[in-house]
Copies of this chain bind each other. A is one copy, B any other.
Amino acid sequence: MDVTQWVERVTGGDIRLLSRALSEIENRGPLADSLLAALFPHSGQAWTIGVTGAPGAGKSTVVTALAAHFREQDKRVAILAVDPTSPFTGGSILGDRIRMQIHDADPDVYIRSMATRGSLGGLAPAAADLIIALDAARFDVILIETVGVGQAEVDVVRLASTVALLLTPSTGDDVQAMKAGIMEIADAFVINKADLPGADRLETELRAMLSLKTDHEEDRPPIIRTVATTSDGIEELGNALRPIKRDNNRSADYWKRRLSEIIRERLMDEIARAQLPAKRLDEAAEQIADRKLNPYAFAAELTSELIPAAPLSPPTED
Q: A interface vs B, CB < 8 Å?
A: 33, 36-37, 40-41, 44, 118, 120, 250-256, 258-260, 262-264, 266-268, 270-272, 274-282, 284-286, 288-289, 291, 294-300, 302-303, 305-308, 311-314, 317-318
Expressed in whole angstroms, the Cα–Cα distance for A90 and B270 within the complex equals 32
Contact of A312 (CB < 8 Å), options: B258, B275, B300 = B275
Contact of A318 (CB < 8 Å), options: B40, B118, B266, B279 = B279
Expressed in whole angstroms, the Cα–Cα distance for A37 and B300 within the complex equals 9
Q: Are B255 and A294 in contact (CB under 8 A)?
A: no
A contact face: mostly helix, strand, loop, or mixed: helix
A44: chain B residues within 8 A (beta carbon): 291
What residue of chain B has the Cβ atom nearest to residue A297's Cβ?
B37
Give the copy number: 2
Expressed in whole angstroms, the Cα–Cα distance for A285 and B276 within the complex equals 33
Given A255-B288, A284-B255, are A277 and B41 also a contact pair (CB < 8 Å)?
no
Task: Return A214 CB to nearest CB of chain B, in Å.
Answer: 28
Q: Are A288 and B252 in contact (CB under 8 A)?
A: yes
Q: Are B277 and A318 in contact (CB under 8 A)?
A: yes
Contact of A317 (CB < 8 Å), options: B40, B251, B277 = B277
A280: chain B residues within 8 A (beta carbon): 317
Q: Are B256 and A281 in contact (CB under 8 A)?
A: yes
A281: chain B residues within 8 A (beta carbon): 256, 259-260, 263
Contact of A306 (CB < 8 Å), options: B256, B267, B305, B318 = B267
Given A41-B291, A277-B318, are A307 and B255 also a contact pair (CB < 8 Å)?
no
Task: Return A41 CB to nearest CB of chain B, in Å.
Answer: 7
